[in-house]
Structure 1
């Protein structure tokens, strides 16, 4: 029964109840009736807009938000909602402006800040474009790979560096390696090789070309200063981001090599985008594995880092054409862990040692190193420890050794310890010791923000260096110290013995007495230190970055000679096994979630979620590789666990068999309905089964900060022979009952 128009309270209660029941159109209608009686109540107009947006009527929702904006022009949260609606509608620049306005109205609004920062590169206009041209100059150098006539085309993926520069300016170890190799490869590419740069677009899941000249200038600025708010730095960095985002997607030349010298384990759907490029162009992927720390000492890493690393490492053997490693120790770790997943899965691996002279990366001139030295006395002797302040670097042990030395020998005999590095995770114990001990605190200097020029000056002036760690893939600060002729004290484990060679001073891992003894030798015995410095000068000579670049490019050239093998052709599914399509947050390596993820073919998918995965509106394809069937081909059964979005839809499925006509199925689903559908298929000798899913126009929505048009959701699948009754029964039992195992 319709409510009388004069009863706003009942209208509001009715609207709220409809909304709680997720009947969003009914809720929007009731809110609309309420607003007709209370037109000044702009917050209810916003509620109506929310319901319209949830129902997929985003343009109508935006119109309601605009009506509310007239009544509340200075409400930051409303501007955020306007930005969300504009983002869903694909009006990227307008969305960015709305988020920027929200932040200006309420600088402390966390949602506004996050969205404004994430969409800053979408802003455009004559003033911004003019500023970008001024920052980038007239020597823009984007070399599209398809125009490069070189025999071997190498595209360096520098996403990791540019993402790092969004928040920081002073590079850490992995960024230094990329800068050292890439800038020299750009300046002097090997004969027959064309070198270009690309960034992975996390929104569109494609690669875009990057201005090579701008990147070289950005690296020079990163080395010459540490202020991330410097106008010259900010202007160039932002101009490069905007130019890359405005560039068309990169079309890789046939059989090109995508070389990623940094980190891609935090990028959702990186491998799925890679598989698309591999199918289109034969692209070959070569990552650089710097270490396997999250798998070997996970207790010293953030849980999210371990989970992300597991999701990246587990599929590596199926996707990588070859691997570069920084040490023999890392190569052994990669092989051991990959072979645990499946024997023979390890791709060809080449070692590129990182024993390069860091001084070549430091721009000459200026007084960039003086700022750090002003903290210290003009003739003061000090020791240097360069590492992120986190539990893996075990500052606690070094601080404890320093405190013992101070109490045993007195502050006059013990030099101050200068710690260069930002505060990381799990450093509470070390910081607690430092804060609770006044004598130690007076003798330890923390320098979290140091430019390359300042670091170079600190290495030159220090008496010796310490580098402690629970595990390392290489140990770049050891190389840096030896290049400056300085004694290094470090534990004898992992790749640290490769980095230090015969030039470093070692102590037994985690042995506080041995560390203390080594420190006493270097601090209290000048003759011993002088003799060790002579050893460093003789045996610790680093190579040039050009030599490291040449070794890397030689390895890439060797891998380029190998034929491509697409990842999708390297695996088959196990009949009768249930494959979940939800995002796996495990810290244990497993190939099963990798195989489940790899069946998603083409661009018609969104990233895996914690419940399953959404198809995009329109077409999405499952590519199910079949093993050879014992006893010959037999009829098959496919089980798909489906989940409709918040709208009713009729899903069309087209199952393609190479040796038969396509099979067509229509599945009607109510809003948010979950259904397990069984499809019986004829016998086939085909090695691949393709399931094409047509979700129609889908539901417009904003998920995880991304504008999406949601199609069918899938939770998992199972494929078996029709006569495999045990697999069919096991699947039904797993869907219907909870198994309880004895302890």
Structure 2
């Protein structure tokens, strides 16, 4: 390499390059000739490559740049402190590291202005204003890429939607390395984990891998308490992911005591140790994220400018109990005729509210007085709150009930359900009613609609006594919760001899770091050729141990796959999945075993097991009718580590476990050990057959001869 001697290259590269005077052709020619005649050796080339990799990586650039900014801010804060900090916009940094806000929900719904997206967006907008904090933003891209950092400018300029469109059009191929300060916190206030188990696990692994304290805002427990309100297995999937979140989070945020009780009951049901719980107050502000009026918003203002109406905010959903309001308006129309106020529903129709909405629109008795609005901008929603006679919120269950606080913040009467958290918001200023008492709802709406004196008196009471909580204050509550003491949760430890399932409801998932796809009934697939298990033992093994895994691989029948097994970076065995002859029956899940010497287990009682394959096939390479391009590594169903002296027939042991039978979808009456020969490969099971290749001892050879196959299941 020939470089100029007039700039900083010499400082960066040193004697690893040749230098010349760039203004002198003779100097340049001589340097190039010398480089041609005396090329660098392979050792010198490797030294140069390592030097560049270590000194000029993006990781080091980010680390050093942040250090410079931190030093500048620190010095500026010291100057301000000495001067009394009069009018200063900077304050001395706290003793905490970064605060990382996960904006995955916002990033995937950048044009949505309601619900959880509004909460995430509002908190992000407030955090970015805090000059006393080091605030950063990330979002979950995919299984392959993981989390990506979002530039602060994107949040400041509120251009996340445009940024996401551009980013998702790029073909990213690998994860970006992100470096955080010590004692940093990552906060998830969105809903992305609720149906995405990959995200839930990756969030936990991301926090653990970067040594971040994970804080999660639990909005409510609706799917666990009322699974019948949702289609299919939504509730079951939600519960499974909620269990993952509770097992891995360090701190939980809730809005209400109602939610705190519901979460505690859920944790007890699943035998999960509760993390530290902090209660925060949700803001009562609508906000003005979308200041530009939408056509729908402008039409709503024009239509209701001279018509009395009751406002109800929230999409039509079984949980929101709009069926009650339909019945109430039937009563009111019959009682009041054309003097009946209009019902304005802002939020559109949710996925299980279509039938309720259809009835409201089609019933000639009420359809002239019930209006379902969507795409209402923030300024128009503010206008509707200000002009409404009152608001109605008959929800059957909430984690908080944001429209209740928004109504009171506008000085408006709110008729609210007396269930769950809604009675905690402002019990003395909210008219709380049983959400099943239609007559009471109709009577209260008729009373306030026809008595301007009663309405004015109640509104004056609300304006005088209700204290509005801003999004800035909600964000302050979160920051205070991060600084509060937190109980240390005991690390997940493994007891020798425990059989750990990694599929649905299995506790084995807690031993899997990043690099695995979401849970299926039978187990999990590795995302690459490497599948890793991390164990911290409750007691130090006093002898060699035997690792037993129930696993499978995805491959064409004619291919051979080998998996090298490493324990704390030491090779302890090799598992081989051979080709299958045409017409030969093969078991789907195989029992694989290997002996791990006691001396290689770390002094801190940790054991990191890596199962490293020589190739990973894409699903569509094996099943040509599929479009799935994922490359799947080893498929792990269950594993066990036991003392060598106690290792027995794993097939018999596994066959006695009801949870394994359930994972394999095998009836209790099936005698697995006796049925295996009939449903597995015909040739005798020997190490030389290739299904197991021994580890580092003669004991491994003995154990390999005891291998047995498990029955075929559906992947």
Q: What is the TM-score of this pair, normalised by structure 2?
A: 0.71
1:153 and 1:415 mapped to 2: Cα distance?
51
Aligned-pair distance for 1:164? 1.1
* Residue 100 (structure 2) aligned to one of 155, 159, 165: 155
CA deviation vs aligned residue, 1:562-584 (integer Å, no higher than 9, x gap) = 5987x9x32436835361x44x3
Cα 1:236–1:617, aligned 2, differ >3 Å: closer, same or farther?
Answer: closer
| Corresponding residue for residue 542 of structure 1 | 468
1:506 and 1:680 mapped to 2: Cα distance?
64
Paired residues of 2:523 and 2:636 also in contact (CA < 8 A)? yes
* Residue 235 (structure 2) aligned to one of 294, 300, 306: 306
2:390 and 2:437 mapped to 1: Cα distance?
20
Aligned-pair distance for 1:487? 0.5
| Corresponding residue for residue 613 of structure 2 | 695
CA deviation vs aligned residue, 1:243-281 (integer Å, no higher than 9, x gap) = 897994433333321111111313342344345434543
Paired residues of 2:341 and 2:369 also in contact (CA < 8 A)? yes
CA deviation vs aligned residue, 1:110-132 (integer Å, no higher than 9, x gap) = xxxxxxxxxxxxxxxxxxxxxxx
| Corresponding residue for residue 643 of structure 1 | 553
* 2:140 aligned counterpart, secondary structure: strand
* Residue 646 (structure 2) aligned to one of 723, 737, 742: 723
Could you say which structure has the larger radius of gyration?
2
* Residue 633 (structure 2) aligned to one of 711, 716, 722: 711
1:338 maps to 2:280: no
- Select the structure with the greater relative contact order (CA < 8 A; seq sep ≥ 6): 1
Q: How does 1:29-40 map to 2 (within 5 A)?
A: none
Q: How does 1:411-430 map to 2 (within 5 A)?
A: 411-412=338-339, 414-430=340-356
| Corresponding residue for residue 553 of structure 1 | 479
Paired residues of 1:490 and 1:506 also in contact (CA < 8 A)? yes
2:205 and 2:234 mapped to 1: Cα distance?
26
Aligned-pair distance for 1:536? 1.4
Aligned-pair distance for 1:306? 2.2
| Corresponding residue for residue 352 of structure 1 | 280
Aligned-pair distance for 1:366? 7.2
1:571 and 1:281 mapped to 2: Cα distance?
20
* 2:630 aligned counterpart, secondary structure: strand
Aligned-pair distance for 1:514? 2.1
1:390 maps to 2:390: no
1:195 maps to 2:104: no
Q: What is the TM-score of this pair, normalised by structure 1?
A: 0.68
* 2:109 aligned counterpart, secondary structure: helix
1:665 maps to 2:574: yes
2:553 and 2:294 mapped to 1: Cα distance?
62
Paired residues of 1:372 and 1:454 also in contact (CA < 8 A)? no
* 1:453 aligned counterpart, secondary structure: helix
| Corresponding residue for residue 93 of structure 1 | none
Aligned-pair distance for 1:610? 5.1
Aligned-pair distance for 1:634? 7.7
Flag structure 1 segments of 5+ consecutive residues without an equivalent: 1-140, 220-232, 585-591
Cα 1:381–1:276, aligned 2, differ >3 Å: closer, same or farther?
Answer: closer
| Corresponding residue for residue 322 of structure 1 | 251
2:217 and 2:647 mapped to 1: Cα distance?
43
| Corresponding residue for residue 732 of structure 1 | 655
| Larger relative helix fraction | 1
Paired residues of 2:99 and 2:184 also in contact (CA < 8 A)? yes
| Corresponding residue for residue 424 of structure 2 | 498
| Matched positions, count | 562
* 1:739 aligned counterpart, secondary structure: coil
Aligned-pair distance for 1:620? 2.1
Flag structure 2 segments of 5+ consecutive residues without an equivalent: 1-61, 71-92, 581-585, 671-715
| Corresponding residue for residue 30 of structure 2 | none
Q: How does 1:54-453 map to 2 (within 5 A)?
A: 149=70, 151-165=96-110, 169-189=111-131, 191=132, 193-218=133-158, 235=162, 238-239=165-166, 248-265=176-193, 266-342=195-271, 345-358=273-286, 360-361=287-288, 371-374=298-301, 376-412=303-339, 414-453=340-379
* 1:469 aligned counterpart, secondary structure: coil
Aligned-pair distance for 1:361? 3.5
Paired residues of 2:530 and 2:611 also in contact (CA < 8 A)? yes
Cα 1:504–1:625, aligned 2, differ >3 Å: closer, same or farther?
Answer: same
Cα 1:537–1:471, aligned 2, differ >3 Å: closer, same or farther?
Answer: same
2:464 and 2:411 mapped to 1: Cα distance?
9
* 1:438 aligned counterpart, secondary structure: coil
